[in-house]
Amino acid sequence: MNGLGGLNKSDNGVVIGLVQLQLPVVETKAQLTAQTARVVELVAKARRNQGTMDLVVFPEYMLHGLSMDTNPEIMCTMDGPEVAALKQACIDNAIWGCFSIMELNLGGYPYNTGLIIDDQGAVRLYYRKMHPWVPVEPWEPGDTGIPVCDGPNGSKIALIICHDGMFPEMARECAYKGAEIMLRTAGYTAPIREAWRFTNQANSFCNLMVTANVCMCGSDGTFDSMGEGMIVDHEGTVVAHGRTGRADEIITAEVRPDLVREARIGWGVENNPYQFGHRGYVAVKGGAQDCPYTYMTDLAAGAYRLPWEYAVKVTDGTGFGFPLPNRMYGEKEPAE
């Protein structure tokens, strides 16, 4: 299911390239413009690197680095020059791309936004990160749900961002909505390496789904990102892995959505996405289809409370220099 990193592409294959992008420092509009140009260059490198490549995936923070700076001058908009340049890069190189922007949000903190753009320059998927990495990240909680789009060669693709992948429910939602390939883009640094690896594999196997996962890479003088591009098949097997931590390396593999579909339809043992909602179908017709999970029903009712809820010590970002929030989710700051 690798085809020598995608060099030998099958009729049903999708070749993915994961860019372990050098972690940048971006503090000004000029630096944002220069970093956008660097990403555009690497889209072209991906195409030159492998003519069979269908989709090139860049990590979270590809334009902004890890400063958590919310200065409006370096935020992006969907109709701004940065997104226009990314669209044109996909057109010029006849390739699909997955990209990351920090998106201006009037009346609140910026959104951490992911985009999938097709080879004609059309935005096929628009996603706002559901689970910012608290208490460190200041981004507005995502409000788009988890979209799934049609991808290259008949595939179905979803995108989640970094910390999202630590919640099994995120990957399950992607699969439940039909995704055969889930992209996970990240800015994680070295302390998260082991959790990154085993959650990527678990997300794949538990959902019979290919996952393609990539982090920023290298140092910005303060933080050391780890690269760790990983492509994992639906059985949880790592088929490509950027272990060297070399910045700007592109990790490639062919994946097979048709084998995902075959497993989801044909497997009996460990057909996890189906069996989750049809418990014990050997004993009872169709299996039990209730919801016996208290945390699910409580969350849906707006009553999610842990037994240790009131003992939790870190519940805001003040320890990392952010002001105490007083705005409820869904509310906007009043215009000045």
168 cis-preceded (ω within 30 degrees of 0)? no
Q: How far apart are CA 174 and CA 294, in angstroms?
A: 22
With contact defined as beta carbons under 8 Å apart, do 229 and 20 qualify?
yes
pLDDT in tens, 65-107: 999 999 999 999 999 999 999 999 999 999 999 999 999 999 9
Residue 69, amino acid: D
Mean of the pLDDT values across residues 324-330?
Answer: 93
What's the number of domains the chain is made of?
1
Please name the residues in contact with 206: beta carbons below 8 A apart, sequence gap of 6 or more. Answer: 168, 171, 172, 272
Stated pTM of the model: 0.97
199, part of any domain? yes
pLDDT at residue 204 is higher than 80: yes
Question: Mapped to the 3 state alphabet, what secondary structure does 243-283 carry?
Answer: CCCCCCCEEEEEECHHHHHHHHHHCCCCCHHHHHCCECCCC
Lowest mean pLDDT among 21-30, 80-89, 325-334: 325-334
Please state, rounded to an integer, the average pLDDT across all residues of the chain.
96
Residue 227 main-chain phi, psi, to 5 deg:
75, -95
Say which amino acid occupies 300.
A
The domain that holds 60 is classified in CATH as 3.60.110.10
Task: Examine the pLDDT at 1 and tell me if it is beyond 60.
Answer: no
Domain range for residue 155?
Answer: 3-276
Is residue 329 one of the residues assigned to a domain? no
Predicted pLDDT at 147? 98
Q: How many whole angstroms separate alpha carbon 292 and alpha carbon 115? A: 35
Residue 49 included in any domain: yes
Residue 66 CB: number of other CB atoms within 10 A? Answer: 21
pLDDT tens for residues 107-135?
Answer: 999 999 999 999 999 999 999 999 999 99
pLDDT of residue 4: 84
CB 129 within 8 A of CB 101: no
Q: Is residue 313 part of a domain?
A: no
Residues with catalytic function: 60, 129, 162
Task: Identify whether 330 is part of a domain.
Answer: no
* Whole-Å CA distances, 332 to 74, 108, 111, 270, 316: 21, 6, 13, 45, 18
DSSP 193: H
